[in-house]
Copies of this chain bind each other. A is one copy, B any other.
Amino acid sequence: MTPGAPRGETCVKMGRPSNTAERRAQIVDALLTVVSKEGYARATIAAVAREAGLTAGLLHYHFASKQEILVALVERLVARLEERFQTRLAEAGDEPRARLFAWVDAHVALGADADPRAVAAWVVIGAEAVREPEVRDLYTAALVASRDRLRTLVAACLRAAGRSTRSSDRIAAALLSAIEGAYRVNAAAPGVLADGWAAPTLRRMIDAWIESEPAR
């Protein structure tokens, strides 16, 4: 830890206005770009600095370690996804199935607010999570949040359709896996699956499953 280095957001003292927040964002963005293009192993501090137009020394002024930048990146990807979901949720209204589809769309749709770099980076992060406890914790937390929300959304659909909710967990697991798997295939073996297959397919899968569940 560099003593005195600015890790917080607030700046009580005046003087030269701090650009820490923007610099950190800029660095995280550069990491996102490099990771998505080259993978984590090649995302050296020097490469990230070059991408950001900064120096390696400065990166270490704003972040104590390379790991810390990765953590910030994960947080940012999760936050962006959350924004995407909230936007779609607001448009979805109260209908449970629309709300579930909003979740699916937020994850797979390639709308104007989509960042193609994010998918590749997310795949890399999943692999990195296999071994870095700190990354694993963040990744796990993100998945747990997704899983729980998904469960709730699925259960609401089942309930609205007058079906038993005992399969909520399984449907949620299948959806979550399919999303993560689609990311992965798309990033690591592009072209294997047709573009845009995911959203309509998953909607169709949801419908089929709900119809086939027994009544409550």
Residues of A at the B interface (CB closer than 8 Å) are 1, 36-42, 46, 120, 123-124, 126-131, 136, 139-140, 143-144, 147, 167, 169-171, 173-174, 176-185, 187-189, 191-194, 197-198, 200-202, 204-205, 207-209, 211-212
Contacts and interface: CB of A to CB of B under 8 A. Distances in A.
Contacts of A191: 140
A211 B209 CA distance: 10
Contacts of A179: 177, 181
B205 A209 contact: yes
Given A185-B143, A197-B173, A42 B204 contact: no
Contact of A170 (B139, B184, B201, B211): B201
Given A177-B178, A181-B181, A212-B212, A123 B127 contact: yes
A180 B201 CA distance: 16
A194 B151 CA distance: 13
A130 B136 contact: no
Contact of A131 (B42, B128, B140, B173): B42
A131 B36 CA distance: 9
18 contacts: A40-B41, A42-B131, A127-B127, A136-B189, A144-B192, A169-B194, A170-B200, A171-B201, A174-B201, A177-B177, A177-B178, A177-B179, A178-B181, A181-B181, A181-B184, A184-B184, A207-B212, A212-B212
Nearest to A201: B170
Contact of A147 (B46, B180, B193): B193
A211 B210 CA distance: 12
B147 A192 contact: yes
B1 A46 contact: yes
Nearest to A183: B181
Given A124-B127, A130-B124, A212-B208, A140 B181 contact: no
